Structure 1
């Protein structure tokens, strides 16, 4: 087998093994809410990478790996998918000049995979997929370049599994419920698939029947945020292309006292994300390197949220390129991600959103789906409301890739935030004012959600029993009870105040009439407040309640 065929087989085997294991990855629950889908996201990301290489012929290993990595980035879904795509981008850079797939080549690939993945994350959290790739890279770099390739890969897999098993000792949320990090688990399975070709000459088969997918790890944002979320894409002047270093930008932003720094340099593009108290200082600094392609300054306080999922998501049609002619006939347009057909109709017909992407309960559209939606609205300025924390990274990836429209990603992390944000859109206002208004509106809503616990758990000191009703406020589980009525009386009461102006209730698909009646009675008897009850059609959550 020549090395070109070998690396292709390794990638196929890795993709297949990740697919075979993704339902189990989804079951590595950190929180007792059956939402989020690390395994699903990684599988869909990997599959998109494979689809971009399966029918093509390549002249070099570097060309093949670059195409695979590009496909991953374009199809990346959720935090786990984006991070995985960056690891593979590092592998591609490490193997760009490889012809023999030597141990030295692979050591370089693991090293660059670690470096690029860490650079892509606002604030790296240990005990995650990042730790697994870093500790694996550190272990293989201690090995001799002359060692046998099979022995090298066995050592790499052993190091990856040791790192994975240690993740609960680094992240308390994992330790509390006795599971390893789901993203790290997915990476290990991908590497084990690659190793099957190296050590056994066998591509792991793509299984036809998998175990039931019932839930996953919440992809957490563990960090305190402050100030202004400042994002810019700079088209580099020719004198800076291939010369400017990530460390140069990072060091200066650190001097300014910024947090959540993410810097990506890709050929002639400099992408910067940071949280700053004085965003004007950042803008002035970056302008020396070239012209802004896009610029966003948002006053925000990001909070951990989660992503709704189940095993039945509408099939999405993938496309790696946009072929329709675009005239940018509209000045401004809005795009929102929703979790049901009922919510799609509500956002488009009642809220006036130009295009609502029905992602089903998984709510995980890929970069390509966002690019297709941007193409369809055909506007100079496009405002995207992801309405889910795990969709934010993918939306921002679409922002980075999109070349014609100016994209504004509004940091909505719930359906409730997306609704309030959409209501504040004014087509007669400037894009700058709309960006500020839509972002500011998020602060004016409390996202109250109710769902049933999928398992026994302990979260933030709250003991949770399977099948209990849970109240979740702005991404945090705040209470549990044996019935919805108790949740209404003991918990919802705390969040409806004399300052509350309106309440919007999105009723879930499986919520019975009695529960709706109980909620109406509770609101009518206890509060003098206007409320609207909408058929949301969402799964997982019986009620999504917006309190403004």
Structure 2
């Protein structure tokens, strides 16, 4: 393997490691004060998948290596940021396809193609984002003299990328209002800085064992590989003497002494929430009980879960060259795949709405391209409708549409769980594909997606001042009000969206929502409106209520 091949491999390793090291901070750069920022997570998972696809292989050329890396990124792409990042790397691969010496001219082509392909991936490109950072960095690179040496080239690349990143708030008001730079752009800069370290300092940035804590919401996370033992989750209502006095480090250190892994601790005034993987969960429960009474407690045996997953995975594990893909009979004419945020929602979509397969992607709802392809394979239909049910999943679904070769894919642009529910209800298996595609898409317009969650930081969004821990009302993706209690949200905000034309209201209740809050909502609806409503256990995290108003 020649020196240039070694160098580009080391540059990729360093870039992936640096992105990993910074992904918790990137997650915190979310514009909305909602505790579900996932840009860093998505970019990290995307980049790691790309690296895992090339780390144990040998390549005959830089172009071959970069194509394999880009392919791995595309197959593992999660969220809009992950998809765009994968397209940037696809551009790098195209620019370096014939490269042997990694010249300045080679990198100029790489950045030019990266910009071109990334912008094409987005239907309505927005400036002040990762797109701007790659474009302005590429423009700066193309102004450089071809005779510049490699170290100075990468000094200029990182300099231009940081200048562009720092300017993103001036291009996007939402960033300026909250006082942050674009999270996707930040992730790209960290990846480029990782590559820069190899060229300029001859040093691969190491992957950190422990990452920063999320001090924005008292979150501490240990990222560990093992997923065995008992998944133990508890919410403790703290006794008075511990409120605002107990520290995350005290809980974390004791659980570490017990030998626990995957420790996540949240302390929010009078609530202590703990997630950990323990071999002796009873030990954890006894320790936590000294701080107060349990509001909820859940223990799951991950050893059994892992055994089931392995047993289930072996017969149908997806690979690019899998013979299973070749044996697909497309026995069904039409099928629906939906993305959901909990096991409860998965069951509801599949059993109550008749969706063929619901992908439970958890709170962050970020399935990869590969997960979509596996789902498409499983439903085995000529025509497959995909409901992303999250704006951050749309690009990944579109990416799967491009990659899938046997089934015809139709991505229905559902951006919320509520839209997905209403859309699924309009599916008619006896109608044509065209009529269903039209009907599923039109149905989205007949629903207001009203969501309630708690702010995790102070912010000003769309002219609305938000204080940490306030209840926020979000209508069709836009924050419309904040109040001190859920009851006030019902009375002052929800009431504005329920009209004489409203026929039915569906409420998905979140995992940690109090029974009193549910009772307050029932009372509010009963006393103020003559409307049919249904309350369902949604089991979703982050959002107290997901309310569909039709």
Q: TM-score normalised by the shorter chain: which range applies?
A: 0.7 to 0.9
Distance 1:3 1:209 in 2: 32
User: Which has the bigger relative contact order, CA under 8 A and spacing at least 6?
Assistant: 1
After TM superposition, list the pairs within 5 Å mapping 1:27-426 onto structure 2: 27-212=28-213, 319-321=318-320, 322-324=322-324, 325-426=327-428
Tell me if 1:517 matches 2:536: no
Stretches of structure 1 lacking an aligned partner (at least 5 in a row)? 217-309
Q: Between 466-475 and 81-90, report the one with greater CA deviation.
A: 81-90
Distance 1:399 1:212 in 2: 37
Q: 1:123 offset after TM fit, Å? A: 2.5
Q: 1:211 offset after TM fit, Å? A: 2.3
Q: 1:409 offset after TM fit, Å? A: 0.8
Q: 1:335 offset after TM fit, Å? A: 0.6
User: SS in structure 2 opposite 1:33?
Assistant: coil
Distance 1:412 1:90 in 2: 29
The residue that corresponds to 1:455 in the other structure is: 457
Q: Kindly report structure 1 stretches of 4+ aligned residues shifted beyond 4 Å.
A: 213-216, 314-320
**Deviation string, structure 1 residues 216-273 (Cα, Å, up to 9, x no partner):** 9xxxxxxxxxxxxxxxxxxxxxxxxxxxxxxxxxxxxxxxxxxxxxxxxxxxxxxxxx
Distance 1:534 1:409 in 2: 26
User: SS in structure 2 opposite 1:328?
Assistant: coil
Aligned 8 A contact 2:94 2:113 in 1: yes
Aligned 8 A contact 1:29 1:215 in 2: no
Distance 1:440 1:124 in 2: 24
Q: 1:213 offset after TM fit, Å? A: 5.3
Distance 1:331 1:214 in 2: 50
User: SS in structure 1 opposite 2:204?
Assistant: coil
**Deviation string, structure 1 residues 8-65 (Cα, Å, up to 9, x no partner):** 1111110111011011001113111122411111111111111211121111000101
Q: 1:370 offset after TM fit, Å? A: 0.3
Aligned 8 A contact 1:87 1:116 in 2: yes
User: SS in structure 1 opposite 2:44?
Assistant: helix
Structure 1 residues 372 and 335, CA gap change in structure 2 (3 angstroms): same
Distance 1:339 1:491 in 2: 25
Aligned 8 A contact 1:332 1:379 in 2: yes
- TM-score, reference length from structure 1: 0.80
Structure 1 residues 96 and 311, CA gap change in structure 2 (3 angstroms): farther
The residue that corresponds to 1:490 in the other structure is: 492
Distance 2:118 2:216 in 1: 25
Distance 1:142 1:311 in 2: 51
User: SS in structure 2 opposite 1:404?
Assistant: coil
Distance 1:460 1:11 in 2: 39
Distance 1:9 1:164 in 2: 25
Q: 1:215 offset after TM fit, Å? A: 8.4
Pick the structure with greater CA Rg: 2
Distance 1:142 1:502 in 2: 59
Aligned 8 A contact 1:26 1:215 in 2: no
Aligned 8 A contact 2:28 2:37 in 1: no
User: SS in structure 2 opposite 1:498?
Assistant: coil
Stretches of structure 2 lacking an aligned partner (at least 5 in a row)? 218-273, 277-304
User: SS in structure 2 opposite 1:531?
Assistant: strand
**Deviation string, structure 1 residues 320-373 (Cα, Å, up to 9, x no partner):** 525412111111111110000000011111111111000000100011000000
Structure 1 residues 339 and 365, CA gap change in structure 2 (3 angstroms): same
Q: 1:214 offset after TM fit, Å? A: 8.0
The residue that corresponds to 1:526 in the other structure is: 528
Aligned 8 A contact 2:511 2:541 in 1: yes
Distance 1:145 1:128 in 2: 28
Structure 1 residues 52 and 402, CA gap change in structure 2 (3 angstroms): same
Distance 1:128 1:215 in 2: 23
Distance 1:151 1:161 in 2: 15
Aligned 8 A contact 2:216 2:457 in 1: no
Aligned 8 A contact 2:507 2:534 in 1: yes
Aligned 8 A contact 2:30 2:37 in 1: no
